[in-house]
Chains A and B, each alone.
Chain A
Amino acid sequence: MSSSQPTKEGGEIRQLRSQIDDLSTTLSAIRNGDVDALVRDEAGVLQLYSRTTADRPYRLIVEQMGEGAATLSPEGRILFANRQLAELLLRDQRGLVGRSIQELVTAEHPQNLQSLLAVNTGHSLSLPLELLSSAGLAVPVLASISGLELSGEVVLCLTTADLSRILKAEQALVESELSFRMLALNAQDGILILNWESGKITLANPYLCQLLGLEPTDLIGRPIWEIGAFDDQQRAHELFIELKDKGMVRYDDMPLKCANGELKEVEFVSNVYLSGQERVIQCNIRDISDRKAAERIAQLRQADVQQGLEDIVAALVVLSEARDPYTAGHQSRVADLAAAIGRELGLDDDQLRGLHISAQVHDIGKLTIPSQILTKPTKLKPQEMDLIRTHVQEGYDVLATIHFPWPVAKAVLQHHERLDGSGYPRGLQGEAIGLWGRILAVADTVEAMSTDRPYRFSLGIDAALETIEAGQGSLFDPAVVEVCLRLFREQRYEIRQHDP
């Protein structure tokens, strides 16, 4: 036997004893419940069976919480880090264990980390820190540390709330508020912001203050109906209540009284909206005083123009009827009847005015016809009839040069047209003849037949009505004829004699 044999055998024995000791301690630890998990070989696959301990729910919370969390030794060495902290730092979770927290913090808050690591058992502290991600980016966090005793040792529990999103949101909010404030300050319309509950003004932009001749201090903090701009405070208060009920009100023409007593006409639009969790009311006020004044001037000018036109028309009528006493008053009577027909057909006041004027001048072209032909008591020769018929075009040519706000010249041109094309001067048919021309055709025919002419006596109103009735739909517009017949037969319309 060699001298090394006992040494080799002794070494093997010692190794076996060590293995037995290790197995014994392992078995003892398992029996005593000193292990967290057992490893079991199932068909060649190692399975880990964890013990469900009382702290399992808390471990789940740590793993699933939204904030980063870690446990540290008092010296700042990371004993454990959850997935969220690893993701915040863009680092591998396994690689964080054993690292010093000082390596993962920037120099932004040097004293804060030292203060946090000095927290004693049973105490807590929260301070801002800047963590350093693997990409070299600074991650602002609010770090909270609590000191715990764990098996006789102090363990620091760290949680980190990511401040970068909060800071971004705060920055965005600041920018949004600044943007709104600039908008309100520079707007060329009045803006008021009211407290939804009390109706008190919380913001009045410079434009509105200038418009009303008031200082901001005259407005801020006061209920809107008390600022003196509304003549009827009670009504203004009622409008505020209506606004709260409906969420929006709009007034296209509202009078506001300025500090100097001047009245401003404004467009007032108000609506309710949410600012965060709070309801506020915004009032947009546009000064339309100048526009309203311009509109009034335009209306007056239009009225003047129309009156001027009517005066011209009246003068033309007098002039034309002076040459032909048999038709004196004819145009005026036709105008009355045409307007009555038009009213029954639903024409509005402005259209009736234009129709009346058209009828008053529908025979103005007869000024160009020699009076001896107009007043000839016997039957006219064909060439004389042709000359008479020219009065339509002549009348149109004159009236087309006057800028009427209605189609007067067109109505005069068409008053002798007939639906079947047998009329003149152009032989228009059906819808090609405008409504006013069709109304004048009926009114002119009825009036002419029911009054005396140089060459005949009146044929009577009944004959006139029968004539248009016979031509209803073929010569004359059926609706116009129906209305005319109803006027005379049911409503007892009478053709009033006008003084020549």
Chain B
Amino acid sequence: MIPPTDPTGEAPDPQLVVLTLYVNGTSTRSAAALITLHRLCQEELAGKVQLTVVDIRNDPAALSEDQILAVPTLLKRLPLPPRQIVGDLANKERVLQALDLAP
């Protein structure tokens, strides 16, 4: 998980972007998605993103919490509304647009 850079522990920044990435272990798509997301978090969302990576093989219970249909799935929890994108997550622009995060 990449934590937000706010060290004070106060109420989250309204600009905070909370993301959850569901992956299936060692798949190439999962690896590509991770690379893209890490780059995205550092370049576009630096200081205001909280990314959690869930490997569903180790944590299958998480599937039911967010009603995931397929993996890989990137879920934006905040800011509302919740959005998600499934499948090819290697395209940074596509990801930003699908999550309503495009500038």
Contacts and interface: CB of A to CB of B under 8 A. Distances in A.
Interface of A: 14-15, 18, 21-22, 25-26, 28-30, 32, 34-39, 46, 48, 50, 53, 55, 59, 62-63, 71, 73, 77, 79-80, 82, 93-94, 97-98, 150-153, 155
Nearest to B56: A48
Contacts, number: 121
A62 B64 CA distance: 28
Contact of A25 (B35, B72, B85): B85
Interface residues of B, number: 42
Nearest to B59: A94
A46 B24 contact: no
Closest 5 CB pairs of A and B: A29-B87, A34-B87, A35-B70, A36-B24, A151-B32
B90 A36 contact: no
A79 B55 CA distance: 11
B84 A80 contact: no
Contact of A32 (B26, B57, B87): B87
Contacts of A38: 69-70
B5 interface: no
Contacts of A153: 32, 35-36, 90
B87 A35 contact: yes
Nearest to B29: A36
B34 interface: yes
B31 A79 contact: yes
B24 A50 contact: yes
Contact of B30 (A14, A15, A62, A80): A80
B100 interface: yes
A25 B68 CA distance: 13
B83 A36 contact: no
B32 A39 contact: no
Contacts of A25: 85-87, 98
Contact of A36 (B1, B51, B72): B72
B2 interface: yes
A97 to B, nearest CB: 5
Interface string B14-45: 00000000011111111110111010000000
B34 A152 contact: no
A151 B28 contact: yes
A475 B70 CA distance: 114
Nearest to B64: A46
Contact of A39 (B1, B30, B69): B69
B60 interface: yes
Interface in B85-103: 85-88, 90, 98, 100
A73 B53 CA distance: 15
Contacts of A30: 69-70, 86-87
Contact of B35 (A29, A97, A155): A155
Given A77-B38, A93-B58, A98 B24 contact: no
B81 A18 contact: yes
Nearest to A95: B1
B71 interface: yes
B46 interface: no
